Each structure stands twice: as C-alpha cells, then as structure tokens.
Amino acid sequence: MEIITNTYHLQRPPVATPGQFTELDMGCGKGGFTLALAARFPDRLVLGSDVMLGRLSRIEKKAQRQGLGNLTLLRAESLQLVTFQLPVACLDRVHILCPDPWPKKNHVGHRLITTEFLCRLQRVLKPGAIVHLSTDYAPYFSAWLEMFSHFSVFADAPGAIEDVADLKTDFEKMWLAQGLQVQHLVKRYQG
C-alpha cells in the first residue's frame, strides 16, 4: 500500500508496464468492487484509492489471500491524487462509484464531482479513457449531467462498462436490496 495522503511532492505510485490497461477505483470504500475488478482482469493494473487507512488495510489482506498481485492500494485524497500525485495520462478507466452525495444544501461544497474536479481529472486520463460514475441520489446525478454538458471533451459511452456491469460496490448492493435505483453515467474522454 502506498500512503500518499498529506504528501505535497510528487511521489509516483507503481505504474503500469507499457501497454498495460490501468483502472482506478477512486474512493474504493470496503473494496468489494475493487477486489472483483482485480480478480476478473489479472492482466490489468487496478488501483484502489481511499483516505480510510483501516479500510485499505482490510482490502490489502483480502487481496493477499486471493493472490491479487495486480492491485495497488493508495491512501490518498482524491483531488490531490488527480491534481499532482498520479502521472499524466496514466488511466484507461476511472470508477467513482457511490461517492458521498452531501445532500444537505450547506454541505454541497464538499462533493467530489465538481467542475474543478473534472478539469483536474483530465490530466490523468489517456485519450479515449472512460469515466464511470454512479449514485443513488437523483439530484447529484442531475448535477453531473449539467456539469458534463459544459465539457465537450467527454462523450457519452454507455457501452464502455459492459465488461463490469455485473460488478457492484457494497453500497450499490445494499441500495438495490432496498429497492433503490442506482444510476450510472459513463463518459469517454476525447482529449
């Protein structure tokens, strides 16, 4: 595990070998999706990031038990991760699944997905990279649609997650069991 939280210099986490597909599960939580992704695609470099060290330690133990040598965990704050901690144009796909919607009006400023974040995210995306978002909170989803409408470098690409459509985060499994809808948004970076 690489701990890069509160690191204000460039510290490169392990990067893919030339030509290796790389994907990031940003805010990986308990790691259900991350572990399943790494197990399904052993030829890919899978990065899982979160700020919660305890969660990452539990994921790391599970990955070791499963023999997942293609998974690298990063303790990092998401905005810093895309702003300067990851190499330029290093990701083929990023999953930001069920981020905290901060639904209260006075908390909206804490949301991860903002126009600032989308500007910074472009730095780490390879041309043609996929951005995969999901949420159960309809107003947050609507806000994403509005934000992306101002970024012509992102095009709709719903079919770009067919290979992982059956993989669910722990939150999504819980919400689906309660009969709640989880919406997914998939965009292709054309930068």
Rounded distance between C-alpha atoms, residue 186 and residue 63, angstroms:
27
Contact (CB, 8 A) for 158 and 188: no
Which candidate, 44, 24, 43, places its Cα nearest to that of 34?
A: 24
Catalytic residue among 25, 50, 100, 163: 100
- Helices then strands, counting H and E runs in the chain, come out as 6, 8
Could you confirm whether 100 is annotated as catalytic?
yes
Helix 170-177 and helix 32-40: axis angle, to 10°?
A: 110
Residues identified as active-site: 100
